[in-house]
Amino acid sequence: MSSLVKCPHCGLRPREEFAIRGEVATPRPKAGADESAWFDHVYLRDNPRGEHREYWHHAGGCRRWLVLSRNTVTHDISDVVDASTLKVGGDA
């Protein structure tokens, strides 16, 4: 993949500045949700061969959580946005 990631706040930055959390999975369930919802959220992944949305943390830069849209085969990054703009975190 490209060794540079375009942070929406900092511009093009080397990949080493980022920590990777992984797939934007099913939204975090409410605290009282049943076990199967939590199991889904904590353990199951789509893990697609192709377009993938994932959390990256710009640990060595602005320290904002970002959501990358990245192709897992070509490694092209089509979009990077601040995670707060997407509201993908769920209810909790």
Partner 1 sequence: MMRYSALSLLGNAFSKNKNWKPAWRNPDPKPHYDVIIIGGGGHGLATAYYLSKVFGVRNVAVLEKGYLGSGNIGRNTTIIRSNYLLQGNNPFYEFSMKLWEGLEQDFNFNAMVSQRGVINLFHSDAQRDAYTRRGNAMRLHGVDADLLGRDQLREKLPFLDYENARFPIMGGLMQKRGGTVRHDAVAWGFARGADQHGVDIIQNCEVTAIDREGDQVTGVQTTRGAIKCNKIGMAVAGNSSHVAGMVDMRLPIESHALQAFVSEGLKPFIDTVVTFGAGHFYVSQSDKGGLVFGGDIEGYNSYAQRGNLACVEHVAEAGMAMIPALSRVRILRSWGGIMDMSMDGTPIMDRTHLGNLYFNGGWCYGGFKATPASGYCFAHLLAKDEPHETATEFRMDRFARGYLLDEKGVGAQANLH
Is 12 among the residues that bind partner 1 (CB under 8 A)? Answer: no
Q: Is 35 exposed, middle or buried (0-12, 13-18, 19+ CB in 10 A)?
A: exposed
Per CB under 8 A, 13 contacts partner 1 = no
User: Which one of residues 61, 72, 80, 82 is an interface residue with partner 1 (CB under 8 A)?
Assistant: 72
81 lines the binding site for partner 1 (CB under 8 A): no
Should residue 23 be labelled a site residue for partner 1 when binding is judged by CB under 8 A? Answer: yes
Size of residue set near partner 1 by CB under 8 A? 27
With CA atoms as reference, report the closest residue to 64 among 89, 92, 83.
83
The tokens describing 31, both together, are: 């605290």
